[in-house]
Amino acid sequence: MTTPQDRQDRQDRQDRQDGHDPRRPGGSPARTERQRARRRRILDAATRLASAGGFDAVQMREVAETSGVALGTLYRYFPSKIHLLVAVLHDQLEQLRANLRDRPLPEPDPAARLAHTLRRAFRAHQRDPRLAEAMMRALLFADRSAREEVRGVFRLTTAILLDASNLAGEEIPGRLSTVRVIQHTWHAALVSWLSGQITLEQAQADIETVCRLLTVPAPPD
C-alpha cells in the first residue's frame, strides 16, 4: 500500500533534484580533469550500449562497469537513467550542430532549408535507430525531475532549427511557437516511426507538412 506520505516523500526528493544537487559534480562543470574524463567515459559507454540494444540495453550496472566507475558514482554524475540518456542526446546534438555549422544550405526558402536539415537528421537516426529510440524515449518520458536537462535539449534543438531556417532576426520572436511545434512534430514523428506506428514515408510526410507552417504568417503571439 502506497500511502500519501510516501508520495509526498517522493515529491520532496524530486524537488530537491530539480535545481542543483550540490553533491553532484555534474551540476557545476567538472573541477578536475579526471572528472571530465569520467563523465566522458560514462556518456560513451551509455551511447555504445544504447546503440547496440536500445533503451532496455542501457542498464545502469553495465554502464557503470563498462565505464569503470562505481554504481554510486554513476548516480552522482547522472541522478537517473533518464538524466543519463537525455545527456547522451544533448551530447549528440552538440556534435550534430558542429557538423552543420560550416555548411550553408543551398535552398533559398526557409521552409525548404528546414525540411532539408530535418531530413538529414532523420537519416542519421535511421542509421542508428536503437540509439535514437533510447534517447527519444528518455526525452519524452522525462518528468519534472529532469526539467532542466530537457530544457537544455530543447534550447539546443531550437538553436539548430533557427540556424537552419536562418530567419531574419526580427522574425524570430513571433516564431517561437512555430519552432516548438516543429520540434514536437520532429520528436513525435521519430518515436512513432521507431515504435512501428507509422511508416518512414508517413514520418517524412509529417515533417514536410509541419515545415509548411513557416509559410503561413507568424501569429501575433
Partner DNA sequence: TTTCCAAGTAGAACAAGTTCTGATATGGGT
Partner DNA sequence: ACCCATATCAGAACTTGTTCTACTTGGAAA
Nearer to its own copies, 95 or 202 (CB): 202
- Does the footprint of its own copies cover residue 87 (CB under 8 A)? no
Residue 213 CB-density burial (10 A; 0-12 exposed, 13-18 middle, 19+ buried): middle
What is the secondary structure of 143-172 as a DSSP string? -GGGHHHHHHHHHHHHHHHHHHHT--GGGH
Helix (H, G, I), strand (E, B) or coil at 133: helix
CB 19 to DNA: min, Å = 15
Q: What residues between 112 and 141 interact with its own copies by CB under 8 A?
A: 133, 137, 140-141
Q: What residues between 43 and 62 interact with DNA by CB under 7 A?
A: 56, 58-61
- The piece of 78-86, 106-114, 194-202, 210-218 that touches DNA (CB under 7 A) is 78-86
- Does the footprint of its own copies cover residue 159 (CB under 8 A)? no
Instruction: In whole angstroms, give the CA distance from residue 82 to residue 135.
Output: 9
Residue 68 interacts, among its own copies, DNA, none and using kind-specific CB cut-offs from 5 to 8 Å, with: DNA
- Does the footprint of DNA cover residue 35 (CB under 7 A)? yes
Exactly one of 45, 47, 50, 81 binds DNA (CB under 7 A); that residue is: 81
Residue 4 CB-density burial (10 A; 0-12 exposed, 13-18 middle, 19+ buried): exposed
- Does the footprint of its own copies cover residue 192 (CB under 8 A)? yes
Nearer to its own copies, 10 or 20 (CB): 10
Please say whether the beta carbons of 126 and 207 come within 8 A: no
Dihedral sign for Cα atoms in the order 189, 168, 104, 111 = positive
Instruction: In whole angstroms, give the CA distance from residue 145 to residue 13.
Output: 9
CB 151 to DNA: min, Å = 19
Q: Which residues of the shown chain bind DNA in the complex (CB under 7 A)?
A: 2, 6, 13, 23, 25, 31-32, 34-35, 38, 56, 58-61, 68-73, 75-77, 79-82
